[in-house]
Chain A
């Protein structure tokens, strides 16, 4: 158990809908990262928050947004969903802003868009 929790575990929705994925980092970790893993693909970095502020942005679509709250949990919002958004979404946390920090991953949320 990495100490990172993600809810829900599974999510099934329809095209055009909006969903929110939630992540609670390990106790004491200030950074939260979001990744997308599509079928047979590697992990694609989406976005990082550090202590409530956006720290780094990767291949995140404009339809997607995220935030980190004062209690350091984070939410990833996916809107106008398309079939291609079906994927595993992982959240990870690390103690500091990054660099040589090890990232601890949650178990993921499997999103299926029908």
Chain B
């Protein structure tokens, strides 16, 4: 049973437009969420995080929104650039409850020039 779901395996966006990647989770104990980006032949790299006490966190072109009641978070990339083309993983943890990070299956983003 997947606790963290990314229901879109892939997404294509035009350069300069907004990319929105979605993530849903089932465990209400999750209290910390992260997004990782992964290029081929490399390990995942940390992108942005959000704690459950917030509903938004912004870092440059990247913004993560958290809707706790819907158990949903999203990553917005504005404007999208070709270099953003990668696989994006959503991860969640409930550390205080002994739950280590659980990763979603990933969404492959393609930003078209």
Contact = CB atoms under 8 A, between A and B. Distances in A.
A103 B46 contact: yes
A112 B37 CA distance: 24
A99 B92 CA distance: 10
B37 to A, nearest CB: 11
A42 B105 contact: yes
B103 interface: yes
Contact of B43 (A48, A102, A106): A106
Contact of A102 (B4, B34, B100): B34
A42 B104 contact: yes
Given A103-B46, A107-B41, A48 B32 contact: no
A45 to B, nearest CB: 5
Contact of B100 (A56, A90, A105, A108): A56
- The main secondary structure of chain B at its interface with chain A is strand
Interface string B15-57: 0000000000000000010101000011111100101000000
Given A56-B100, A98-B95, A98-B100, A42 B43 contact: no
Interface of A: 2, 4, 33, 35, 40-45, 48, 56, 58, 90, 92, 98-100, 102-108
26 contacts: A2-B43, A4-B43, A35-B103, A41-B105, A42-B4, A42-B104, A43-B44, A43-B91, A45-B100, A45-B102, A45-B103, A56-B98, A58-B100, A90-B44, A98-B95, A98-B100, A99-B95, A100-B32, A100-B49, A100-B95, A102-B34, A105-B36, A105-B43, A106-B43, A107-B41, A107-B43
Given A2-B45, A35-B103, A100-B51, 11 more contacts: A4-B43, A43-B44, A44-B103, A45-B100, A45-B102, A48-B100, A99-B32, A100-B95, A105-B43, A106-B43, A107-B42
